[in-house]
Amino acid sequence: MLNEKNIILGVCGSIAAYKSAVLVRLLVKAGANVRVILTEGGEHFITPLTLATLSKNPVHSTYFDAETGVWANHVELGLWADLLLIAPATANTLAKLANGLCDSLLAAVYLSARCPVYVAPAMDLDMWAHPATRANMATLQRHGVTLIPPGNGELASGLSGEGRMAEPETMLDFIQQKLTGPLPLAGKFALVTAGPTYEAIDPVRFIGNHSSGKMGLALAVELHKLGASVTLVAGPGTPASPEGLNRVNIRSASDMLQACLEYYPAADITIMSAAVADYRPAQPAGQKIKKNSPTLTIDLEKTPDVLATLGAQKRPGQTLVGFALETEHEESYALAKLDKKNLDLIVLNSLNDQGAGFGTNTNKITIFNRNGEKTAFDLKPKTAVASDICAAVLRQMGL
């Protein structure tokens, strides 16, 4: 999305300037050509050498470098840029830009730029809430400047509140979404399940499996990046979710069924990647079972089939995706599950493939659609696997 885009990053005098190093690295990694303008105040918090090394371009700070004799042409810089991003943007800089002051190279480039301008404010909560700052920001927005909203959290002053500069990853996502226009899943609602279920034997012990929840979490994050509103139904041990996802934590198969039945009717896309236990103790003990006998017999009963239940309720326009983790007859079992449970796609992974399955950061999958068409993929990180699955979902939906 940012490949070969020319981006000027303005870095002002804020403690948040330390994050600009990460931001430059992310922008370069995304394929952008990055030039940094560092204000006099910014030089107190991060060195030009750091930013020059990461951007692979000299850092500009003044109109004229007396040592090299090089003039930083603000008009040329403004015309070169496809995007001017000021992060961190201090209260002082916002005030200058809003009132057209031109006492720095960054301000001159701002006045010369014909490209979109984004600002990511960074200041203490009282400064951000002050009527003067609010008025300056409103003026900039009337002039067409885009605000990357500050976050809410711990501040350098020791206080906690709004004013914290957005994280570099958040800024990158924000910019990519703005530059690419409407996302393919904008306005869609997605339901994702992740992780294992635990079926109680007694208050202490349970029947479970080795699912880590990493695959389901990666899918939820990818769907969110594509513009969907996402609810993640997460089994025990599923890693923490980023901001923007609605998360429902569950424990048992019955819990998962209840949560899914609540959200499924409104879902456009449902991806059931959780490893739901097939059996549970028929009569869980109310107290901890004592080790008084050399053997223990537990009667098991089937858990509710969450995927089949949703498949039976599927309405026109819904896309339902299931997973099949197999150890033998992989393809025939997966295709039978696809048909029996009324799925649109099924994702097969085999425990016979090294690096696939539970507990790893990688997976190797094969996707089948309702026509039996097969698409096989190499071993990849689960984040990349999530992209492949979501791409198949988009094709299935005709998007």
User: Which residues make up each annotated binding site for CTP?
Assistant: 278, 288, 304-307, 323, 337, 341
Which listed residue (209, 246, 249, 369) is catalytic? 209
Report which residue type is found at 4. E
Q: Is 395 left (phi over 0), alpha (psi -120 to 50) or beta?
A: alpha
CB 188 within 8 A of CB 268: yes
The per-residue b/e assignment along 86-102, b for 16 or more CB within 10 angstroms, e otherwise, is bbbbbbbbbbbbbeeeb
The whole-angstrom separation of Cα 309 and Cα 268 is 16
| Residue 125, both tokens | 């909560």
Q: Which residues are annotated as a binding site?
A: 278, 288, 304-307, 323, 337, 341
Phi, psi of 18 (to 5 degrees): -65, -25
Outline where the chain has alpha helix (H): 19-29, 48-55, 74-80, 91-98, 105-112, 125-129, 131-142, 168-180, 214-225, 253-263, 306-313, 330-340, 382-397
Strands 319-326 and 345-350 turn out to be: parallel
Residue length, the chain?
399
Between CA 348 and CA 67 the distance in angstroms is 63
Quick check: is 209 catalytic? yes
Q: How many CB atoms lie within 10 A of CB 35?
A: 22
> Which residues participate in catalysis according to the annotation?
209
